[in-house]
Structures are given as structure tokens and as C-alpha cells.
Structure 1
Amino acid sequence: MTFEDILKSLKKKEYAPVYFLMGEESFFIDQITDYIIENALNESDKDFNQTILYGKDTDIGTIVTTARRFPMMAEKQLVVVREAQNIKNIDQLLSYIQNPLHSTILVINYKYKSLDKRKSFTKEVAKNGILFESKKIYENQVPDWIKNYTSKQGYQIDSKACFLLAEFLGNDLGKITNAIDKLTINTTETKTISPGDIEKNIGISKDFNNFELQNALGKKDVFRANQIINYFAANEKNNPMVVTIALLHSYFSKVLKYYFIKNKTNDKMVASTLQINPYFVKDYKLAAKNYNPKKLVSIIALLREYDLKSKGIGDVSTKHGDLLKELIFKILH
């Protein structure tokens, strides 16, 4: 089942006897678990029928014993096992999973890794309960995810503001939702989150950031690019070179890839191939006009070279700000 499917069934009060929630993305695991904790039992039933266990402090025997208890003056009891990835031999729960008590809702949080779905344990979970794998979303999916989440909070977010958040926070959905929640609290008049709101409340400069640097380089705007890298050099702590290089490497690799797309007139196809938002296709087309394939290959090689230098390989003395200035000069000339 998908995350949306699980929430849909929970809202209908359709509870499975077992939820095994595993995977790298903790956000979806927490969302499902929190919803069950908040809604599965009446407040008056929670004192005697809700148990929270932690992987470091419990074992298989305790989980099974707790799960096999009958609820006290209620239809259901809830047992949540947090940090279950810290329990050795989690598959020893197999006997319980094969014959779960239907008056118990057992929720197991197995974060940051996944079990082999081919094994009998996971097959039995899927057969008798809900097996959910929470995967990290791809970075190119983050802007759309931000827009959808913001919309559900009753707000809109400017495209540039959306990409500023995506660039700054990556695909960590926990950090993203915390940032959006903070923005919605402090943006009450217009109901639209702007780059200015992000600069004011999150601390990301709306004018001097990797997104703006990428735009300046794509347009071959030497003056603007130099403005930005001088700002980066003066604020190295908030603008780590390793992040800038990684983003530029991804950007110029996509510009190079653009040359090999057969149907360049179909923006949707271009966006799908490059794994970018269709809104930004025009920027990649402009960059492709400004950099031929030979130059792009040279730029990608430069980025690899300066990535090593930034890590002290081949250059242990030059400051990151100065290395970045050298790199941008060579990209533009």
C-alpha cells in the first residue's frame, strides 16, 4: 500500500493488526504512526491500552507479551515499537505476525533501512498486516512535493521560493515540513510564500544562492555570477563549496544531456528526460546556446578537479572562496 492508501484506510477507522513501517524516509513513518496514536483510541482508553516501546530498551519477548494482552474495557489496544531497527533478530516476531491478536494494533517503526521483501517474515507481514516501505523521494521531485504540501496547509509558494527551499534542504522531508510550517505561521497576510519570506524566516538569501548562481552561469552573466561568488566567499560557512560544486555538476551534466535529446521542441519530453520542472526548460535551452558540448565536458572536468581541491587533494592552502572564484572564472571564459 502507498502512504496515501494507508492514511485513507486509517481515516475510515480500518485498522490492521500489524503495521511494519520501514525505510530510509522517516517522515512518512512518523506521519502514519502519529496518526494512529492520535486517532486509534479514545483519550479515555489510552491510559490502560496504549503502550510505547523503544528498540534500545525492549526485546522480542516483551513485544510479544505486550501485544498478546487483551484490551482493558476497550475494543482495541495500541502497541507502538519505535526505533525497532535497534532490535536484533526482528524476524523472531514471525510467530506473532503469523497469528496476530486482532484486538491489538501493533505498529513497528523500522527506520533508515528495509528488510528483504523476499523473506518469509516480510511476506507474512504483508499477508497479515500492512508492510510499508518509506523511500526517499528523488531530488527532482522535491519542488512539486513542496508545492503540494504547502497547498494542503492552505498556502501557495512562489516557484523561486520553492526551489530555494529544495536547494537548501535537499530531500529531507522532515526539515522541509518544519520550514514550511514556520513560514505559514509567519506569512499570514498574502497566503503566498515568497523568496523574501524565506530569506526573512529561514535565513536563505533570496539574491545570493546556488539557484541564482546557476541562472547567472546559464545566461553567462559575468557580473551577476561574480557578485554571488564574492558573497559566497565572504560567507563560506553558510555557502559550503562542496554543495555548490555538487549542484553545478548536476546542472551542467543536464545541459550536456540536453544536446542528445531528439525532440527538443517538446518541453514536457525535455523536462522528463532532464528530470526538471517544465518551468525551467527555457533556462536549460538558453544555457545550451551559451555552452557547446566541448565546453560542457571541460566544465564538468573542472568541477571534478575543484571538488578534489576543496577536499585538500592537490591544493591544501587556497581558501574555498578563492578556489570558487577561480572555478567560476574558468567556467565563464
Structure 2
Amino acid sequence: MDVKAAAKAVKQGDIAPVYLLYGTEKYQMNEFVSFLTEHAVSENERDFALVHYDLADTPLQQVIEEAEMVPFMVPRKLILVQDASVFTAGKDQGKVEHRPESLLEYMKNPAEYSVLVFIVNQEKLDERKKIVKAVKTGGTLLSFMPLGSEDLLKWIVKKAKEQGCTLEESAAEAVIRNAGTQLQTLAAEIDKLCLYAGKGGTIRPDIVDELIARSTEQNVFALVEDIANLRVDRALSIFYELLKQKEEPIKIAALIARQFRIILQVKDLAGQSYSQQQIASQLGLHPYAVKIAGEQARKFQAAQLKQILSRLGTLDYQMKTGAIDKVLGLELFLLKLAA
């Protein structure tokens, strides 16, 4: 079951006895937990109906005892369980001893008055474990992974619409370019943009650039994009802006090297017919970053990228040993790269 189907079922009153939420997209996961809380227990009952546990310091069997215990003064209780590493691969390094069989036994006949929600902030579960299979069969298993590039743009536009303002498509791209891909950050920036635009207002790319300051990493990302498109003046302008912000040239060079390394890796994996999502998973990147790196990769040959990385390695050594002025070294590198 996907998240949309699960949310629809919850809205219709069909609430599962056990939920297992996993993935790296914490913002969406928290949104689903809030949505489930809203529909599972009424607001005036939450003092008695909401129970929180952390498996880092509470044994699983104690959580099951809580689920089996009849709620006090409320018809149903919602038990939120953090750090549920018992569902993932590898040995549990914690001091608490868990008995997974207690959950297996509970799943055979779950209490009607309890809703168990296990939260796992990791990319994968251990599908071989019996407790994972049990929840898959008798409960609801939901994955919260980073949105694909197109879905992320749609999410931004939808979020702005919910706030009563309109984002131009190019403005949505600008939001990601300036703020990055973390949903929590994006949501806060969209709130700010819509507050500025007002109800019914339209947000243009120039408004985004005016209101959302780019981080160093995002500035380097834009710098490499300008170099790939032979916009030397803009690339140098970003470089000088970073220097004004007291950024260390060695750090800037390292971030440029990182971006070119990503471009080379994306080019290599795309050449092996890996999909955007597979590349993102393999490199630990957001799908949107893979999309942009893929577009940049088409403008370079693999041999060129390797040569650029080699030159950056030499430049790094020269800057650290004092063989060249750090600012001058980076300026010459950028000019030669554009040439």
C-alpha cells in the first residue's frame, strides 16, 4: 500500500492496528503521523490517548503490554514508537533487550482499542525478519523516500497553492536551486514567499532570488551549472560573492570537486542504464540533484571530467602548500575551465 491509499483509508475510518513507517523523508513521515493522529483520536482525548515510546530505552515487549492494556478514559489510544531498529538489518547495539516474538504473538490478535505506529528513519527494512513479514501481512507498511524530480516540483507548486498563492514553474525550479531539496526547509521558504506575495499573489523567479538566500553548497551548485553552460561572468560573480561571505577558497574548490565527481558518477551510471532513482539510491543523493547532474553530464565527455578532477586535485595541493595564491588559483581554474 502506498501513502495516498493509506491516507484515504484512514480518512474513511479504516485504521490499521499496526503501522510501520520507514524511509529518509522525515517531513512526509511526520505529516502522515499528524494526519493519523487527527483521525484516530479526538483533540480533547489526546492527553490520555497519545503514548510515546523509544525502543532505544524501552523493550519491545513493554510496548506490546501497553497496546494490550485497556485505555483509560478514552475509547482508543495511539502508541507512537521511535527508533524501531528491530525492523532493520544488523545487530542492535543498544543495551535494551527486545523480544520480537512478543510482536509476532500480538499480530495474531491485535487489540481493537490500540493503534501501534513504528517509526524507522532508515532507507531499508530487513525483509527477511519475521516481524517485518508479520506487519506486511497483518498491518500497514509505508515507505517515505525522497520525491522524484518531477514530483518535487509538483509538491512545491501544490504547497504554495495551499497557502493561497501561485508559483510560476520557473519559480519552483528557483526555490529548489536556492533552498535545496529538504522538504522541511522548502515548506518554510514557501510559507515566507506566500506571506510576501499575499493571498492570490504570484511568485516569480526574481522574488525567489530576492527572498531565499542560497547556502554555500547551493552557490557552488549554481557556479558549476554556469560553467557547464559557458556563463563565465555569472560563475565568477558567484565566486566573488562567496569570497565576500568569507568562504575559504580551499572549501569552495573542494565543493566544486565534489560536484564534478557527482557529474562523472552520474554519467557513468547512466551509461550503464541505471534509472534516476537507482542512481540516487546508489550515490545517496536526491533524485532532483541526479537530474541536474545528468543534464550537466551531457555537456562533458568522461575524459574531460576526469581531467577537471585531476586539475582540481593539483590545485588543492598547490593551495595547501602555498605554491599558488588561493584566490588567484581558483580564478585561473575557472577561466581555463570555461575556455
Q: Is the 8 A contact 1:198 1:204 kept in 2?
A: no
Percent of residue pairs bearing the same amino acid type: 21
Q: Give the alignment partner of residue 115 of structure 1, picking from 125, 133, 137.
A: 125
Q: Give the alignment partner of residue 133 of structure 1, picking from 134, 143, 148.
A: 143
Return the letter of the residue paired with 1:316: K
**For residue 8 of structure 1, what is the aligned residue in structure 2?**
8
Q: CA deviation at 1:136?
A: 2.6
Q: In 2 relative to 1, CA 16–38 (structure 1 residues): closer, same or farther, beyond 3 Å?
A: same
Q: Is the 8 A contact 1:232 1:321 kept in 2?
A: no
Q: In 2 relative to 1, CA 103–255 (structure 1 residues): closer, same or farther, beyond 3 Å?
A: closer
Moved more, 190-199 or 236-245: 236-245
**For residue 270 of structure 1, what is the aligned residue in structure 2?**
none
For structure 2, the residue ranges without an aligned partner over 5 or more in a row are 86-93, 274-288
Q: In 2 relative to 1, CA 156–102 (structure 1 residues): closer, same or farther, beyond 3 Å?
A: same
Q: Is the 8 A contact 1:16 1:130 kept in 2?
A: yes
Provide the secondary structure at the position in 2 that maps to 1:16: coil
Provide the secondary structure at the position in 1 that maps to 2:320: coil
For structure 1, the residue ranges without an aligned partner over 5 or more in a row are 262-273
Q: Distance between the aligned counterparts of 2:118 and 2:338, measured in 1?
A: 53
Q: Distance between the aligned counterparts of 2:326 and 2:161, measured in 1?
A: 39
**For residue 335 of structure 2, what is the aligned residue in structure 1?**
329
Q: In 2 relative to 1, CA 212–110 (structure 1 residues): closer, same or farther, beyond 3 Å?
A: closer
Tell me the TM-score normalised to structure 1 length: 0.74
Q: Is the 8 A contact 2:3 2:143 kept in 1?
A: no
Q: CA deviation at 1:104?
A: 0.8
Q: CA deviation at 1:65?
A: 1.3
Moved more, 58-67 or 153-162: 153-162
Provide the secondary structure at the position in 2 that maps to 1:316: helix
Return the letter of the residue paired with 1:126: K
Q: CA deviation at 1:304?
A: 5.4
Q: Is the 8 A contact 1:140 1:276 kept in 2?
A: no
Moved more, 83-92 or 143-152: 83-92
RMSD: 4.0
**For residue 91 of structure 1, what is the aligned residue in structure 2?**
100
Q: Distance between the aligned counterparts of 2:212 and 2:248, measured in 1?
A: 12
Q: CA deviation at 1:221?
A: 3.4
**For residue 283 of structure 2, what is the aligned residue in structure 1?**
none
Q: In 2 relative to 1, CA 256–28 (structure 1 residues): closer, same or farther, beyond 3 Å?
A: closer
Return the letter of the residue paired with 2:159: Y
Return the letter of the residue paired with 1:66: E
Provide the secondary structure at the position in 1 that maps to 2:234: helix
Q: CA deviation at 1:17?
A: 0.4
Q: CA deviation at 1:82?
A: 2.6
Q: Is the 8 A contact 2:60 2:100 kept in 1?
A: no
Return the letter of the residue paired with 2:145: K
1:221-240 correspondence to structure 2 within 5 Å:
221-235=231-245, 237=247
Q: Distance between the aligned counterparts of 2:226 and 2:203, measured in 1?
A: 23
Return the letter of the residue paired with 1:227: S
Q: Distance between the aligned counterparts of 2:63 and 2:263, measured in 1?
A: 49
Q: Distance between the aligned counterparts of 1:184 and 1:329, measured in 2?
A: 39
Q: Distance between the aligned counterparts of 1:75 and 1:238, measured in 2?
A: 59
Return the letter of the residue paired with 1:137: L
1:57-206 correspondence to structure 2 within 5 Å:
57-85=57-85, 89=98, 91-92=100-101, 93-138=103-148, 142-188=152-198, 191-204=201-214
Q: Is the 8 A contact 1:216 1:225 kept in 2?
A: yes
Q: In 2 relative to 1, CA 160–101 (structure 1 residues): closer, same or farther, beyond 3 Å?
A: same
**For residue 40 of structure 1, what is the aligned residue in structure 2?**
40
Q: In 2 relative to 1, CA 301–138 (structure 1 residues): closer, same or farther, beyond 3 Å?
A: farther
Q: Distance between the aligned counterparts of 1:184 and 1:148, measured in 2?
A: 12
Tell me the TM-score normalised to structure 2 length: 0.73
**For residue 89 of structure 2, what is the aligned residue in structure 1?**
none
Q: How many positions carry a matched residue from both structures?
A: 309
Q: Is the 8 A contact 1:140 1:275 kept in 2?
A: no
Q: Is the 8 A contact 2:67 2:116 kept in 1?
A: yes
Q: Is the 8 A contact 2:224 2:256 kept in 1?
A: no
Q: Is the 8 A contact 1:233 1:322 kept in 2?
A: no
Provide the secondary structure at the position in 1 that maps to 2:100: helix
**For residue 267 of structure 1, what is the aligned residue in structure 2?**
none
Alpha-carbon displacement from aligned partner over 1:13-37 (angstroms, at most 9, x marks no partner)? 2210001111222122211111122
Q: Distance between the aligned counterparts of 1:329 and 1:98, measured in 2?
A: 68
Q: Which runs of 4+ in 1 moved over 6 A?
A: 252-259
